[in-house]
Structure 1
Amino acid sequence: MKTKAGIIGPIDSVNLISEIAHEYIEKLQIVPFIYENPEEATGIIQKNQNGVDLWILAGPALFNSVKESGTTQPYFLLTMDGASLTKTMVEIGCTDKKSFERVSIDMLKERDVYETYRDLGISTKEVHVHEYTNETPLEDLLSFHQKLFKEGKVEICITCLRSIHDRLRAHNIPAYWVTPTRSNIRETLSTALQQWETMHFKQSQITAIILKVQGMELRDNYNSYDLHRSNLQIQSAMLNFSESISGSFVNIGTGIFVVFSTRGSLKETENTINTLLEKIAVITDLPSNIGIGYGDTALAAEDNARLALNHAQNFDSFSAFLVDDRGMIEGPLKDQESISFGYRTENKEVSQKLKNSGITITTFNKVLSIQKRVGNGSITAANIAEWLKMTPRNARRILNGLVEQGIAEIIGEEAPTTKGRPRKIYRVKNELK
């Protein structure tokens, strides 16, 4: 299947890029997008992301358009250098018979401009250069040329933007447009194809994700129903996670779960591993870890995932590590301090109050996390009962215990969904004052 490349730029640039892209016709399919002004590029990218694989942009001034579009697709900016300037100077000197000693030049690096002039044996004493950065407003480039020409400091203006060239010409200011050389375009197209093929290969790699909940089969205070119920809840969370990344799910024993997918599918979803760890922590307070492995085969991916899991288990509870196809280890994938459910607290006052209420630190941190997920900075007994799979009566006991110790407060009531008394709304404090 050919790679679809969206080409964005003024008509002359798009036509030239398309012409050279014909050399790559076996691998590349060109989808042209022509604009009158660079500001149109953002909308073009946003509307056409599903129709192309990557973007080729006619110049560095389009960098901000890519960022503003929010696209995650790869993009490649054509660059102008000394060779591009030389091509324009040939047009000025040989075709139009004009001098290019008193000129204004935008976007190009001063180094490239001065080295080009030096190589041609021309003085740069009256050459004015306005380099471009991603923060440079395009209007500044137009004002730069107009001011110098109006003050009589330059005779011609050389710009890398077609829109500025046209506006200068509209004001009867002699202007020339610098365009990428064929060599620039060819190099950019080759780089785009190579990087796309490398990335596409990586995206297709197999990913194995292993979750291990330690001690489920050994837990003394669990009867068989509680154990199976907890295991089924974890299975449900893993099934939902597997579906979100288009993966296949396997339960290979009590508390051990494996999901196979592709690297690309996992990368497309943000914070999935972190969210999964938080969900598992809601279900059980047993130490849980995740190992992720990439590989060209399922066996290689699983071996790397087991290695990653070993690193996670040696690091701390509720952490995840990754081992890629090169054996490189990354982790922990989530900083331990940001995990929603801590199993310790250094606040002695909180610790003593929880002890007085008969509530564990683990349960307290889970309640805080549920409150955060519910939103609005509040929580009800029904919320806790639903998330922690306990009776509403037990959930009320926990909240009322926190209220008695000054760790939570009642802030209101809400009407019940069925007949009964109004439900109290609580706010659990993150910090004690």
Structure 2
Amino acid sequence: MKTKIAVFGRKEVVDQCHSSVLGQVDLEIVPFIYTHVNETPKLIEKAFICDVYLFTEAISYAFVKKIINKKRLPAVQIPCDDYMFLTSLFLANNEREKPIKRLSIDLWNKHRIHEVLTKLNTSNYEVYTSDYRNNEDNNIDQITAFHKQLWEKGKIDHVLTSIKEVDLMLKDANIPSTCMEIPKVNIERAIQKCKSIATLKKYNHTQMIAGYVCVKGFELLNREKGEITYEMILPKLDQLLEEFTFQTEAALIQTKANQYVLFGTQKMIHYITDHYRNFPLLTEIERSLQVPISIGFGLGMTVKQAENNAKLALDRCNQEPYRHNCFLVNEQGDSFGPIGVKKHFDAARLYQALIHKARLNNELSYNFINFISSRNNEPFSSNDIALYYRVTKRSAERTINKLLNGKVIKVVGEEKPYLKGRPRKLFQIATEKEKAR
């Protein structure tokens, strides 16, 4: 069945979206074309047959933000990112005989652009910004007036706007302006994200997983090695991640030059949990690239929750800036890792505790030691034991109770892999002090 993407925008941008999916038989663009962005609320009511909602302008998303949040609709915006801003600024400068030194800008989130301007060392520039992210009225006239007032006061020479209607009104008033153009790559990434979200919706009864992958110290590395970073390191990383996503039936999106996002479901989750001790992806990246990489995985019952937990896992990775590492944060906020690094535990002492304190027989004791070793001494649930031993859940719970009563294991957290039902308790081997209590 095709994934239907509702695209809200002006005809020329919607046509670009159509061109981006040519040849992709599993995708269908359903156009919702407007002349004025305030038409978006009426259009969204007609898009009920669609799987995902794609907004080509941030302002059109702003008009329906409350509806989206209330109905919990899966929505994606084509971002106004660094690349889009810098490309538009370059084009605006080319349109003028003199370089632009004084300008005003309107956009969804001004903080990101301020970071770009700081990196560009714009001390010789005078820049005024209007942020409409929190403008509940979404008043186009108000945004236009912001630019007009600056022009009339002689404070600016040019306007860079992210809204086509504002650009048209400014041109009617003979105020020099440029509307930011959406790069093709931004459209393609947004469509890929729509496709990933639609795929994950089919599995909304169970866990989802997201992953963030980035090169540590990328900017410093790029300054030291120059274009070699782009020409050698990133293409190799891209290839390795493509192979991993093919193997785990996941989706891959490059969100920045130095950042990738993965989306997957049960197959990807099982792959990670089966490789706690030796994570092939991390090993292969380390061998091929020889630069430190962070990989943060997050579990969740929604795409957003999985993404947020993946960001937490990535933050945990970045606490060690010069080493390869990988962490996972589950839907309850519990952290696992570092994944792919063998964790030591005293098998002989554990065996003694299993025999004398938990009262398990030899076979169960050896199997449990193998189980702990295979999971790299990471937290586990009774369900994990049932799957490993190939026994019923009730039988696994009896083993868990023996281990708890013998103080061989302890409760360390919870997981909730399904929307319905109670969370599962997570257990881990108790320390020697905890066993002695």
> Which TM-score tier does this pair reach, normalised by the shorter chain?
0.3 to 0.5
Larger Rg: 1
Structure 2 length as normaliser, TM-score? 0.45
The structure with higher relative contact order (CA 8 Å, sep 6+) is 2
